[in-house]
Amino acid sequence: MKHAQPSDLAYVPFVSVDNMMKLVHHIGIEQVLSELSGYIEDDFRRWQLFDKVARVASHSTEGVIELMPTSDGEVYGFKYVNGHPANMKKGLQTVTAFGLLADVASGYPVLLSEMTILTALRTAATSAMAAKHLAPAGATTLAMIGNGAQSEFQALAMKTICGITDLRLYDVDSAATAKCRANLEGFGMTLTTCKTPQEAIQGAQIITTCTADKQYATILTDNMIGAGVHINAIGGDCPGKTELHRDILLRSDIFVEYPPQTRVEGEIQQLEADHPVTEMWQVVNGEAAGRTSAAQITLFDGVGFATEDFSALRYVYDQLEGGNFHQYLDMVADPDDPRDLFGMVQRAKG
């Protein structure tokens, strides 16, 4: 990531929703997912450089609003994000977000970006990065349980990064499955619509659960999960929201991003506070084992962590040079004399 020069810092590049979509189409969505996954994996490799803190959350009965900050010592980043499951009934997104990068040396912001689309991309890229390390070798079939706004991104990331060729779809809302299937036609996967979760997971080596309801749910029961599969449980992302029966967790080797956050928000909130888990950065760096046997059940309890958003913003920033996928915002006051902010305001009277 190249730093802006001091003379440029008063004008901050802003990536709007429209420009984010144009950037994705310019590069190609599968290439974006692949490259973004590489950025995320690179930052997991330098995990110990980052400031790490569980997200700052404001919970309500309707949902949650969160700030997710981190820094690698040179660049600071944060994301604002919400999660409101009932929004869908109002015709609104359940998750919206924006993010910012800043230069640690000056404190000046260097990028402001939409992150509703970018969060969907980084979540899928992270899931596929984890599955690359944890799924059975030669996995070809993904069961996608929950066919909402995240599902197509998840499927394409698994195809691009893990080689998935067959996709089995299930959602309690058949219209969501029809939407997902229609969107994925032409991307080179065999698509199967399923009537139950049990049907969806038949023959699947990778199972992804991504549902929206804020409740202790049991999307998968213990008797549904056989030996040798990899599970990406990414729907549970706040206290009181889970998708898997507790007994599945007890049979699985569990991998997480940042334990202090996941123990509050993830599937493992169902378990004792000292239940053993492995951090994904250790697997990526070869400091801990991932999949060790064909019969092993691996579970990535993904709740989303600030470093992944940092990686995503860093990726977007690196794509902007020489392109037309951003505009500049006059965000930072820039008086000729840094001590004379009042004078600058007065001179603006005209």
Mind listing the pLDDT tens digit of every residue in the chain (350 residues)?
654 544 567 799 999 999 999 999 999 999 999 999 999 999 999 999 999 999 998 988 888 899 999 999 999 999 999 988 889 889 998 889 999 999 999 999 999 999 999 999 999 999 999 999 999 999 999 999 999 999 999 999 999 999 999 999 999 999 999 999 999 999 999 999 999 999 999 999 999 999 866 555 678 888 999 999 999 999 866 677 788 999 999 999 999 999 999 999 899 999 999 999 999 999 999 999 999 999 999 999 999 999 999 999 999 999 998 889 999 999 999 999 999 999 999 999 97
Q: Which of 171, 237, 301, 309 is catalytic?
A: 237
pLDDT given at position 3: 46
Contact 24, 32 (CB under 8 A): yes
Q: Name the DSSP letter for residue 91.
A: T
CB atoms < 10 A from the CB of 235, how many?
Answer: 25
Q: Which residues pair with 79 in a beta bridge?
A: 68, 99
Cα 144 from chain centroid?
A: 16
C-alpha to C-alpha distance for 257 and 308, rounded to whole angstroms: 10
C-alpha to C-alpha distance for 225 and 143, rounded to whole angstroms: 12
Contact 208, 143 (CB under 8 A): yes
Q: Name the DSSP letter for residue 123.
A: H
Residue with tokens 């490799």: 45
Instruction: Tell me the HSE value of 252 on the side-chain side, using a 13 A CA sphere.
Output: 29
- Taken in order of first residue, the domains within the chain and their CATH numbers are 6-117+307-347 (3.30.1780.10), 128-304 (3.40.50.720)
Which pTM was predicted?
0.94
Beta-strand relationship, 166-170 and 190-193: parallel
Whether 237 sits among the annotated catalytic residues: the reply is yes
| Phi-psi category of residue 150: left, alpha or beta, with phi > 0 → left and psi -120 to 50 → alpha | alpha
Calculate the dihedral angle through the C-alpha atoms of 286, 291, 293, 299, rounding to the nearest 10 degrees. Answer: 150
H/E run at residue 22: helix 17-27
Contact 330, 323 (CB under 8 A): no
C-alpha to C-alpha distance for 86 and 276, rounded to whole angstroms: 34
With the C-alpha atoms ordered 189, 191, 197, 202, is the resulting torsion angle positive or negative?
negative
Beta-strand relationship, 11-15 and 327-330: antiparallel
